[in-house]
Amino acid sequence: LVEDASEITSIAKQAANTSSQAYEMTRQALEEQHYEANQINILNHQVDEIGEKLRSVQSLANVALREANEAYQKALTILRQAKGLEVPQVETDVVSERASQIETKAEAIRNEAEQLIQSNMELLQKTQDKRIMLEELLSRANLQQQEVDRQLADMDEFRNRAINAVKSGNNVLKDAQATLETLK
């Protein structure tokens, strides 16, 4: 009986330790999952900003194209009016300067977008690696929880056996006392 009680106590301690480890692993996995979710939100915000900048560049490019078309149409109108007698004066410097500014802005935004995408690719890869690690940790935690459950079931079985052994011992004691009384 003492050996069974010691074994039950040992199994209970082992189950408690395993349960504590499983809880800690699960807590850490949840914290990392929360951190990764925050990082993904930051990435989404940055992607939205890049999209906004790209839309701005497209808008500027459309304005430049429209202005260039207007200048071209004016030139054609002037040319038609002059019927080839005189070359119209088009402010090509202004149009060229405006187009150059837009091209410079577009290039800067494109470079920034590429850098942001590159840096986010590394973060995305880290996030995916952490997600895989978290899934493995969760799987191990589940296996440990199953082991704890199994050990608890074993403890219940040992406890029931101990209770039955005590009852049996008490019955034997009663029988022995009754026999002793009879012999007196």
pLDDT above 60: residue 88:
no
CB burial readout 6-17, b (16+ within 10 A) else e: eebeeebeebee
Single-letter residue type at 23: Y
Is pLDDT above 70 for 58? yes
User: What's the pLDDT tens digit per position in 77-87?
Assistant: 877 776 655 55
- Residue 22: CB atoms within 10 A of its CB come to 20
User: Mean pLDDT throughout 47-70?
Assistant: 82
Amino acid letter for position 39: Q
For the chain, which residues make up each domain, given as ranges? 2-172
What distance lies between CA 74 and its chain's CA centroid? 57
The span from the CA of 135 to the CA of 129, in Å, is: 10
pLDDT in tens, 140-158: 888 888 888 888 888 888 8
Angle between helices 2-82 and 92-183 (to 10 degrees): 170
Q: Name which residue leads in pLDDT, 178 or 4.
A: 178
Interval 27-55 mean pLDDT: 84
Q: How far apart are CA 27 and CA 52, in angstroms?
A: 38
